[in-house]
Structure 1
Amino acid sequence: MTIPPLERAGLRPRVDKALSGFLATAREHLLEIDSALAGVADTVSAFVLGGGKRLRPAFAYWGFRGAGGPDSDEVVAAVSALELVQASALIHDDLMDRSDTRRGEPSVHRRFEVLHTAEGWRGGAAGFGDSAAVLLGDLAMVWSDELLHTSGMGLAELARARPVFDRMRTEVTVGQYLDVLTQATGDTSLERAGKVARFKSAKYTVERPLLLGAALAGAGPEILASYTAFGLPLGEAFQMRDDVLGVFGDPVQTGKPAGDDLREGKRTYLVAAAFGALGEAGRAELDAALGDPGLDDAGVERLRAIIRDSGALAATEARIDTLNTEALTALAEAPIDDEARAVLRALADAATRRTV
């Protein structure tokens, strides 16, 4: 029986174990400050451990192994820090998008809004929820640093990894800002959509994790270049798949309401392709409804039809296939361990052919 790529080397449960141990210790530290922080620790723990594909630690781990790094619990702990960066990004993303749910559960700002109401506290419940989400997202980012540096990896390995980790976190943060800026300006160009996808998700999901693993292993420039040639197109394909699911995905599988990306006015490659293919009337209709938070189910279906009939969905699927082929070609030529190559190929399929 073929072992799923995320389960190879027992990676997923090992990542969860590393996160659980770290978060348990972090909880103790918070309780030393004030018992009121139990809810903070428990919410971050539930968010981090309650789901997620663990793709980023997987790419980092197999990037490490592909570059000749030996398996150890220490390297698993180090790459698990990426899940705390992801938690920070998602908590803030849900707040900025005013999303009510994440993975089928209330988003963090909604959880604290409900808590405020239930306890009958003073002030506005929504404002309290928003403030809590900002701070919990920041805390998860701080903890990502702490987990990396307490992972047990040597000082030399951490010194090599640090610039990659820092650059990655900068890129995902400014990528998020470019996403917000693009919605505000209404930019519908493919160039802008591609740049947002590249920095908000593509580099941060695949390329930088691969390079982080490679840095921990002390990889040379040839492997680093190969990982970039593989990781960048694959990361863009991953984000485009995410964009397709954001419009056409099944809420039962995605854990988010249908059409949320349309209500939020996301200017994705899919949407940019539609604007480029539509006539004046179609562009006006799409532009008028995109970003309307009150868009009902019928409105969502109408926009889906406009996007599908424009040929944008087919064009995006074709672009995903092209990028995936480019990535796999680079992977085939990479001077890395054959086991890692096989797992990275399977991870590429998991990233681009998923339904959640």
Structure 2
Amino acid sequence: MSIELCRTLIQLSFATPDAIAIDSAKKQLQTATDKQWEQCLATLGLHRLSPLVFYGLEVAGLTSLVPKSYLDRLQVAYQTTLKRNNIFLLTLDALLQRMQARDLHPTIWKGIALADSFYPNPGTRPMGDLDFAIFPEEMEEATRVFQSLGFRLDEQAETDDAVYFVNPMGVKCDVHHRVRLFEGIEPASLVTQLNPRHLQVETLQVLDPSTTLVHLVVHMDGHRHETGPLLSWILDIAFVLRKWGDRINLARVEAMMPDKTHWVSLMRSLRFLETELGETLPESLASAAREFEPLTLAEILRQRRLALWGLPHLRGWLRLGASQVDSQLRLQRPALVADDLLLWVGDFWRQRRTLRMADAR
């Protein structure tokens, strides 16, 4: 089954497998059919994991067991991500050096900080833009810095909370001057200093461990209705815990969550990492998570496919119906598995049951 091939590839790239796991993986890679490889690569692409999987295969010395056409696709995804992220890193370095010279205090969020300092290699974590938070009183001066490096303000994308800059190379910066999630909390208590691995600046100001965890979960949930769950976002959580697990304040994390939905998402994601990928969690987190049913790999893959169709909502049914006569529309969305909609009902009630349990705590 392609899901088992996907699980094996993710485990190879995410964990440090022992000799028994390597032998098992070799057998699976050698016996996988073309159909399984096609389905698996489509799934990895949907979850933005192709670069990480290629890197993991290379580190494990197993690239020779992957059929060349599929290995080439994985390698292209990795090389493209590495090239793009190197451009991001160079751009960020230039921005930060000029901001530091002007005594500005940006906080770097999510993708670029994860790619630089948490993932095994900058080419293993895809991203679409550079995320900043900047104090409102520093925005005017920060804007001058962006403009001095060739960025222009994208006025059409501006919101009440953020502005967006883009440069001629297509690098986009998402700059938040208001962060509603953390309003009312002393800003200095939300950040920490990180020593970057691939930048010339000596330190990055980033969200502290507990705040980072909250931000990742709330961001993931905020997009769930349109994207479904992404494995790459769940692995973000895992890489943060690997680096900072002993610094997570669980009570603070729970208190900062806007509602129980996010707490349940975190706990079920932790259980997924533990039960499906064999990740060892910090004991405080593992103990709290054991009260919750884990997300399963099949559930995550199913919900991602359905969300990209807009199912089970009416617009999704209309889109699915239209795709029966419009092959182009069908090619724009992932192929659905026969029982996706049937099993979604079980997913829905499992989530409801878990939420009721959390509310009763």
TM over 0.5: no
Which structure has more RCO (C-alpha within 8 Å, separation ≥ 6)?
A: 1
TM-score scaled to structure 1, two decimals?
0.34
| Structure number having the greater strand percentage | 2
TM-score scaled to structure 2, two decimals?
0.34
